[in-house]
């Protein structure tokens, strides 16, 4: 047999079945992508993922909307398709937001007619006028969603969704998925969408015409549904300026990285850039009444070091705020090591150690991207840290979980720690990982007793004090074929419940409601337990 023939047989999977490390790759998944009216969609990006891990296989549809993935190994896959101007869809997806159904193929099997229908995106259309009914040209339009952020429900901008009004005060924001949205207009401020007009005296205004975000009216969009007639008048209000001076840690005047944002203590959604003079003097003009924080920061030099930072809380009530003085600090340093409690060999690059922010007002806006530098000898380092934080392990190798975190021998696993000055640095941090891992698994059925779909299982501590944002006493898992598995919860008592997908389940009010429907389980070190659940409403 020639070398070429042998290569061809290996490619086809002839000899791979005898190797434990080279699974046979003979399965095929193919289908077609069409529009809602049945017409073929070309150049659609189709992604095939196995077990929600690793890089996806990617292809594009041809002119007839056809796609094909071949030479696949047996397994369970998720298929998704996307194209600009259309809503991203997973195979057999039935609701938005939500997920589709997995596709399982055996050795040598061909799954065809794996078809997807891509609905077009939606739009919001309206008009902005002033108090006299005259059109406002160049007003910044932002589309926002109500989300749980840092434990509080706030209006946050939808990425890349916004625009400006034209000379008739009209706007059209497109490319939106199904959901509930809020629309705001700003004039004379540097908001998420900068205004073309320097027109003072108007507050950020939310549809249907209120400066109070709590009174904003949601705009509901269904699949491919445009919402028109979103017309409202901006609200005249006495605005003020916020000014002062800002200096870097070395005493030099600030040159950038200075912004005024809504305090997390408010429900506003504002972000403004300052006018900065060479001597470090700055001003934020036309600021509406509200609670804000001025943040000064420098870009991070690497992934484990945050830049210099300073902040000042500001309340604006119509009068100018002057004389603010910000002096950036270099932050605190954290060093320590990771200890393994258990047998087995794992690599440091399989562990991810982060610092979660307790108060976003007092932490750098880049804090969410900070990751510890972990060396081959298991020592680690974090630098330039400001604000109250919790040390948290967010990724471990399979079969491992965090057991405890000690500082100078004291357990601080779930304790907020202050940072910002050199004196607040830590040099004896011990992060202990264990392979005595907990597990909660089981089955989930719907009201008919069939294996549940479009659902998720959530687990949360019975201790309400542990319901803080990004708590390690929270976990959630999607349901696959009516089954679920949750791994790595700390020891303790938990509520476990199956709910429809798409809810902000970590919101305290919803958790309180779920406690009346949940199954209660107790976990000790290394314990594995099974429960059978039924899907309950949100």
Residue whose tokens read 């304790």: 415
Q: Both ends of the chain: CA-CA distance in Å?
A: 63
Q: What is the CATH T-level fold of the domain 332-434, as seen in this structure? A: Immunoglobulin-like (2.60.40)
Judge whether residue 10 has pLDDT over 50.
Answer: no
- Rounded to whole angstroms, how far apart are CA atoms 521 and 439? 11
- Give the per-residue pLDDT at 4: 39
The alpha carbon torsion through 410, 413, 417, 421 (nearest 10 deg) reads: 70
Per DSSP, 266 falls in state: S
Judge whether residue 201 has pLDDT over 80.
Answer: no
Question: Average of pLDDT values for 90-114?
Answer: 87
Q: Which of 538, 505, 499, 500 is nearest to 519 (CA)?
A: 499
What is the percentage of the chain residues whose pLDDT exceeds 70? 90
Judge whether residue 18 has pLDDT over 50.
Answer: no
What is the radius of gyration, based on Cα positions, of the chain?
A: 27
Tokens encoding 346: 């794992």
User: Which H/E stretch holds residue 401?
Assistant: strand 401-407
Judge whether residue 14 has pLDDT over 50.
Answer: no
17-26, 34-43, 201-210, 431-440: least confidently modelled range: 17-26
Contact in structure between 232 and 205 (CB atoms under 8 Å): yes
Tell me how far apart the 2 most distant CA atoms of the chain are, in Å. 89
Compute the Cα dihedral for 513, 516, 519, 525 and give only its sign: positive
CATH 2.60.40.1120 fits 240-327, yes or no: yes
pLDDT, tens digit, 9 for 90 and up, residues 310-338: 999 999 988 999 999 999 999 999 999 99
- Give the per-residue pLDDT at 154: 75
- List phi, psi (to 5°) of 513: -65, -40
Judge whether residue 164 has pLDDT over 60.
Answer: yes
**Average pLDDT of every residue of the chain:** 87
| C-alpha of 414 from chain center | 22
- Rounded to whole angstroms, how far apart are CA atoms 159 and 138? 20
Q: What is the CATH T-level fold of the domain 3-118, as seen in this structure? A: Immunoglobulin-like (2.60.40)
Residue whose tokens read 């069409």: 34
- Give the per-residue pLDDT at 29: 95
- Rounded to whole angstroms, how far apart are CA atoms 528 and 538? 27
Residue whose tokens read 């509406």: 288
pLDDT, tens digit, 9 for 90 and up, residues 215-253: 999 999 988 889 999 999 999 888 889 999 999 999 999
pLDDT, tens digit, 9 for 90 and up, residues 484-534: 999 999 999 999 999 887 667 888 888 999 999 999 999 999 999 999 998
Contact in structure between 292 and 272 (CB atoms under 8 Å): no
Please give the sequence-ordered ranges of beta strands (E in DSSP) within 61-118, or none if there are none: 66-73, 75-82, 89-90, 103-105, 110-111, 116-118
- The top-level CATH class assigned to 439-536 is mainly beta
Tokens encoding 226: 């445009």
What does pTM read for this prediction?
0.76
Q: Which of 239, 252, 291, 249 is nearest to 270 (CA)?
A: 291
Length of the chain: 538
Angle at 450 between CA 448 and CA 455, to 5 degrees: 100
The β-bridge relationship of strands 25-35 and 170-176 is: unpaired
- Give the per-residue pLDDT at 232: 97
Domain ranges of the chain: 3-118, 122-236, 240-327, 332-434, 439-536
Judge whether residue 15 has pLDDT over 80.
Answer: no
Q: Where are the alpha helices (DSSP H) in 260-415?
A: none
Tokens encoding 122: 């939606």
Contact in structure between 460 and 495 (CB atoms under 8 Å): yes
Question: Average of pLDDT values for 441-449?
Answer: 89
More confident residue, 211 or 522: 522
The CA–CA distances, whole Å, from 343 to 340, 346, 396, 402, 433 equal 8, 10, 15, 15, 11
- Cis-peptide into 275, omega within 30 deg: no
3-118 with 240-327: one CATH topology? yes
pLDDT, tens digit, 9 for 90 and up, residues 264-281: 777 666 677 888 999 999
Architecture of the domain spanning 122-236: Sandwich (2.60)
40-54, 90-104, 144-158, 519-533: least confidently modelled range: 144-158
Tokens encoding 234: 């901006």
Q: Which of 535, 481, 537 is nearest to 513 (CA)?
A: 537
Name residues whose C-beta falls within 8 Å of residue 441's C-beta, 6 or more positions apart in sequence.
483, 484, 485, 486, 528, 529, 530, 531
Q: Let me know if 124 is exposed, middle or buried by CB neighbors in 10 A (0-12, 13-18, 19+).
A: buried
- List phi, psi (to 5°) of 18: -90, 0
The CA–CA distances, whole Å, from 43 to 36, 59, 86, 111, 407 equal 16, 9, 12, 21, 54
The β-bridge relationship of strands 110-111 and 25-35 is: parallel
């Amino acid at each position: 047999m020639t070398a070429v023939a042998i290569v061809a047989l290996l490619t086809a999977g002839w000899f791979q079945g005898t190797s434990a490390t080279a699974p046979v790759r003979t399965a095929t998944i193919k289908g077609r992508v069409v529009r809602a009216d049945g017409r073929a969609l070309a150049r659609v990006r189709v992604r095939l993922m196995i077990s929600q891990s690793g890089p996806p296989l990617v292809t594009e549809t041809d002119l007839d909307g056809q796609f094909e993935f071949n030479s696949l190994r047996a397994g369970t896959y998720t298929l998704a398709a996307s194209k600009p101007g259309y809503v991203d869809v997973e195979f057999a997806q039935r609701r938005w937001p939500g997920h589709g159904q997995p596709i399982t193929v055996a050795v040598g099997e061909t799954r065809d007619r794996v078809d997807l229908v891509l609905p077009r995106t939606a739009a919001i259309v309206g008009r902005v006028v002033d108090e006299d009914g005259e059109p406002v040209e160049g007003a910044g339009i932002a589309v926002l969603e109500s989300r749980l952020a840092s434990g509080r429900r706030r209006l946050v901008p939808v990425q890349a969704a916004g625009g400006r009004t034209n000379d008739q005060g009209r706007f059209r924001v497109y490319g939106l998925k199904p959901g509930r949205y809020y629309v705001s207009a700003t004039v004379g401020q540097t908001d998420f969408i900068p205004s073309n007009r320097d027109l003072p005296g108007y507050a950020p205004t939310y549809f249907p015409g209120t400066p109070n975000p709590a009174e904003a009216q949601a705009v509901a969009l269904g699949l491919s549904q445009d919402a028109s007639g979103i017309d409202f008048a901006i609200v005249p209000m006495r605005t003020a300026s916020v000014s002062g001076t800002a200096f870097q840690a070395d005493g030099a005047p600030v040159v950038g990285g200075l912004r005024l944002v809504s305090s997390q203590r408010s429900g506003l959604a504002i972000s403004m850039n300052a006018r900065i003079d060479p001597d470090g003097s700055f001003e934020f003009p036309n600021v509406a009444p509200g609670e804000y924080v001025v943040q000064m920061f420098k870009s991070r030099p690497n992934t484990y070091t945050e830049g210099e930072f300073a902040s000042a809380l500001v309340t604006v009530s119509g009068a100018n705020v002057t004389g603010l003085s910000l002096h950036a600090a270099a932050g605190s340093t954290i060093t320590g090591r990771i200890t393994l409690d258990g047998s087995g060999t794992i690599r440091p690059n399989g562990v991810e150690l982060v610092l979660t922010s307790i108060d976003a007002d007092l932490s750098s806006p880049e804090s969410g991207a900070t990751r510890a530098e972990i060396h081959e000898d298991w020592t680690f380092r974090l630098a330039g840290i400001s604000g109250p934080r919790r040390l948290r392990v967010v990724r471990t190798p399979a079969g491992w979980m965090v057991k405890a975190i000690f500082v100078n021998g004291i357990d601080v696993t779930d304790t907020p720690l202050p940072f910002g000055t050199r004196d607040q640095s830590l040099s004896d941090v011990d992060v202990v990982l264990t392979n005595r891992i907990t597990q909660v698994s089981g089955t989930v059925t719907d009201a008919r007793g069939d294996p549940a779909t479009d659902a998720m299982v959530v687990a949360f501590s019975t201790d309400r004090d542990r319901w803080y944002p990004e708590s390690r006493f929270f976990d959630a898992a999607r349901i696959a074929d009516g089954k679920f598995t949750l791994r790595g919860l700390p020891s303790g008592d938990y509520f476990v419940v199956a709910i429809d997908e798409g809810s902000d389940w970590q919101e305290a009010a919803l958790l309180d409601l779920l406690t009346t429907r949940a199954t209660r389980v107790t976990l000790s070190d290394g314990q594995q337990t099974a429960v059978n659940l039924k899907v309950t409403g949100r």
